Amino acid sequence: MIKVLDIRIEKTTSPKEKPDANHLDFGALFTDHMFVMDYDINKGWYNPRIEPYQPLTLDPSAMVFHYGQEMFEGMKAYKGVHNEVLLFRPEKNIERTNKTNDRICIPKIDEEDMLQAIRTFVDLEKDWIPEADGTALYIRPFIIATDPYLGVRPSNTYKFMIIACPVGAYYTEGINPVKIWVETEFVRAVPGGVGEAKTGGNYAASIKAQMKAKERGYTQVLWLDGVERKFVEEVGTMNVFFKIDGEIITPELTGSILAGVTRNSVIELLNQWNQKVTERRITIDEIYEAHKEGLLEEVFGTGTAAVISPVGELNYNGNIITINNNEIGPLSQQIYDTITGIQTGAIEDTFGWTLKV
């Protein structure tokens, strides 16, 4: 028997004006509707619906406000070259949802149901997908604990929601490398903690270091491991790759690193190109050493928002190094062009990564 969600749709009677795709702030403007589904320990997930985008009414004692039992995902829908609507590896985000849920003690969501919810919602909002090069509709599924209760335990009730916002091109005048502050005081995650779960607490814990980097003129921080503070983990809210003497290295997933969909796509792409990728622990000293020997060729972050974000400068305890003359490297550019090409259908998808809505 095929189980299908019976999604009730209530359309807005006052649709918003679509924004100018050339002037979009990331995450500041939302589409006309939202998907909502409730959970109750006695009923499971129930009442899937799409409603006009609107504020929620929640009890001030709702558990999410106090102990942060929540999860979120981030993915994009693209207007393809033939005007079709394309999702990029949504099954990966769905799989990760349930991994996060497991860690945060949120009940699992049926994978087919979640995919159907995303497709139905995106299809309804498809006129919101901007069409200019590099633009997309950013999709934010999330779950919050809603029990009105101040005791510490898993909630018995939850809300699963999907909201979306049109996002402009991340890069408008070519890809600019960013300056990165290597953070030695604050850490993002520790083994056994929630670093590999996509949950808000990780972000709350990271803001202070981000501010510190900003004050010093840096765009983001490079996170070191929480125990020895020498192994590189992530860059800002992205995974990180290094090209050293022809070899591509990315930190292995040791439990405190978020397993990015883009990270995985970059590894699979490089494997297809017969480029050696090594997933292993790598220290910041090894990276500085490689730079000293002239072997550090490229450094880049990977994530849904930017796809590839080249690193042009690192500052570690006042030692500043410049990477690839502060320009995007050829490999970073090639990966960026290929992945964004696949996402919009401009390049043939031999991986089966895209899904038509």
Ligand X SMILES: *Cc1c(COP(=O)(O)O)cnc(C)c1O
Question: Which residues form the interface with ligand X (CB under 6 A)?
Answer: 74, 198, 234, 237-239, 258, 260-263, 302-304
Of all residues in this chain, which one has the CB nearest to ligand X in the complex? 260
CA neighbor of 326 nearest in space, from 316, 314, 317, 337: 314
Complex with ligand X: residue 12 or 254, whichever CB lies closer: 254
CB of 51 to ligand X, least distance (A): 27
CB of 212 to ligand X, least distance (A): 17
Complex with ligand X: residue 62 or 163, whichever CB lies closer: 163
Alpha helices in the chain (DSSP H): 63-67, 90-104, 111-124, 200-215, 261-272, 284-292, 330-343
Complex with ligand X: residue 79 or 198, whichever CB lies closer: 198
The Cα–Cα gap between 232 and 173 comes to: 30
CA neighbor of 25 nearest in space, from 169, 176, 213, 174: 169
Q: Which amino acid is located at 283 in the chain?
A: T
Complex with ligand X: residue 33 or 92, whichever CB lies closer: 92
Complex with ligand X: residue 237 or 338, whichever CB lies closer: 237
Complex with ligand X: residue 48 or 236, whichever CB lies closer: 236
CB of 13 to ligand X, least distance (A): 35
CB of 82 to ligand X, least distance (A): 25
CB of 235 to ligand X, least distance (A): 9
Q: Counting Cβ atoms within 10 Å, is residue 274 exposed (0-12), middle (13-18) or buried (19+)? A: exposed
What is the residue-wise DSSP string for 49-103? Answer: EEEE-------TTBHHHHH--EEE--EEEEE-TTS-EEEESHHHHHHHHHHHHHH
The Cα–Cα gap between 354 and 76 comes to: 11
CB of 47 to ligand X, least distance (A): 28
Complex with ligand X: residue 85 or 240, whichever CB lies closer: 240
Tokens of 335: 């990966």
What is the residue-wise DSSP string for 178-224? Answer: EEEEEESS--S--TTSSTTS--HHHHHHHHHHHHHHHHTT-SEEEEE
The answer to whether the CB of 167 falls within 8 A of the CB of 140 is no
CB of 304 to ligand X, least distance (A): 3
